[in-house]
Amino acid sequence: MSNHCSERLAIVIPAYNEAASIAGVIADVKAHAPWATVIVVDDTSTDGTAGIARKAGAIVLPLSIHLGAWGAMQAGIRYAERHRFGRVVTMDADGQHLAAELPGLVAHLDAPGINVVIGAYPERGSRARRLAWSFFRLLTGFSYQDLTSGFRAYDRAAMVVVGAREASLLDYQDVGVLLLLRKAGLQVVEHSVQMRPRIAGASHIFNSWLAVGMYMFETVIMSCARWHVHRFVPVRR
């Protein structure tokens, strides 16, 4: 039997200077998932994002130092864990992720043994980005189509894993988090979603060659350091 209603859902939205889009994103979530609690993590914005989010009815976590997308997300996940939410979904504040996809994404957690759902939209990547993804798949042994999606749903077991100290030195939310989840033996599945082209601004990672280089370097080193011996896992029936 599905426990869709008994598990309280938190939507964590990390935001850095997203005054233009944050209110719309919160309204969207409230329209499509009125039972969810919206948690906006304000990563030291200077454009009044926090105030707008509060007015729109979100709980706002005001970070005192800039932690980046993952640090902000982790703050929200820890908050949800602390307040005994059963599930958490992370979303971008720029309107890229569609609240209409929330119910479908979260529904996968009803299946027994599923801990994390990735909202996958691999079509969004440029050719270079897809090439990088293939490389990371090869390096990590993951078969996910969309390794970098920030649109994910976590159950309680996964919240505990990604909220732990071990995850606090990560600089990006994508491959490193998946590596930790695999190490903890949790099940991750993908769910195809539609995404909207970014309303404003480009990807924070793919906007300068230096940042791309740093991201590639960190991800490669991390994948190598967290080597994983491939085993044949018997298929459970």
Partner 1 sequence: MNYHTSAAVISVIAVVAILLLIRRDHLRIRYSIWWLFVAFVTLVLGMFPETINLMGRIFGVAYPPTLVLAIGIIGLLIKILTMDIEHSRQERTIRRLAQRLAMFEADQQVQQRHPTGHNFSPPD
Query: Is 168 among the residues that bind partner 1 (CB under 8 A)?
Result: yes
**Residue placing its CB nearer to partner 1 in the complex, 57 or 103:** 57
Query: Is 87 among the residues that bind partner 1 (CB under 8 A)?
Result: no
**Residue placing its CB nearer to partner 1 in the complex, 57 or 104:** 57
Candidate residues 52, 67, 99, 132; the one interacting with partner 1 per rule CB under 8 A: 67
Candidate residues 9, 26, 39, 93; the one interacting with partner 1 per rule CB under 8 A: 39
Candidate residues 31, 48, 51, 82; the one interacting with partner 1 per rule CB under 8 A: 82
Q: How far apart are CA 109 and CA 13, in angstroms?
A: 20
- The window from 20-28, 104-112, 138-146, 165-173 that contacts partner 1 (CB under 8 A) reads 165-173
Footprint of partner 1 on 97-156 (CB under 8 A):
none
Query: Is 37 among the residues that bind partner 1 (CB under 8 A)?
Result: yes
Element holding 222 (H helix, E strand) = helix 209-225
Q: How far apart are CA 123 and CA 115, in angstroms?
A: 24
Element holding 221 (H helix, E strand) = helix 209-225
Query: Is 183 among the residues that bind partner 1 (CB under 8 A)?
Result: no
**Residue placing its CB nearer to partner 1 in the complex, 22 or 60:** 60
Query: Is 71 among the residues that bind partner 1 (CB under 8 A)?
Result: yes
Query: Is 179 among the residues that bind partner 1 (CB under 8 A)?
Result: no
Task: Find where tokens 């300068």 sit.
Answer: 208
Q: How far apart are CA 72 and CA 44, in angstroms?
A: 10
What strands, in cross-sheet order, belong to the sheet with 59-62? Answer: 59-62, 37-42, 9-15, 87-90, 152-155, 116-120, 188-192
User: Closest Cα to residue 175, out of 134, 204, 207?
Assistant: 134
Element holding 52 (H helix, E strand) = helix 49-55
Give the chain's radius of gyration (CA, Å). 17
CB 219, min distance to partner 1, A = 17
Q: How far apart are CA 67 and CA 45, in angstroms?
A: 11
Candidate residues 74, 90, 115, 140; the one interacting with partner 1 per rule CB under 8 A: 74
Distance of CA 199 to the CA centre of its chain: 19
Query: Is 60 among the residues that bind partner 1 (CB under 8 A)?
Result: yes
Candidate residues 5, 65, 210, 233; the one interacting with partner 1 per rule CB under 8 A: 65
Query: Is 222 among the residues that bind partner 1 (CB under 8 A)?
Result: no
CB 134, min distance to partner 1, A = 30
Q: How is residue 95 written in tokens?
A: 């309107």
Residues forming contacts to partner 1 in the complex (CB under 8 A) are: 8, 37, 39, 41, 54, 59-65, 67, 71, 74-75, 78-79, 82-84, 165, 168-169
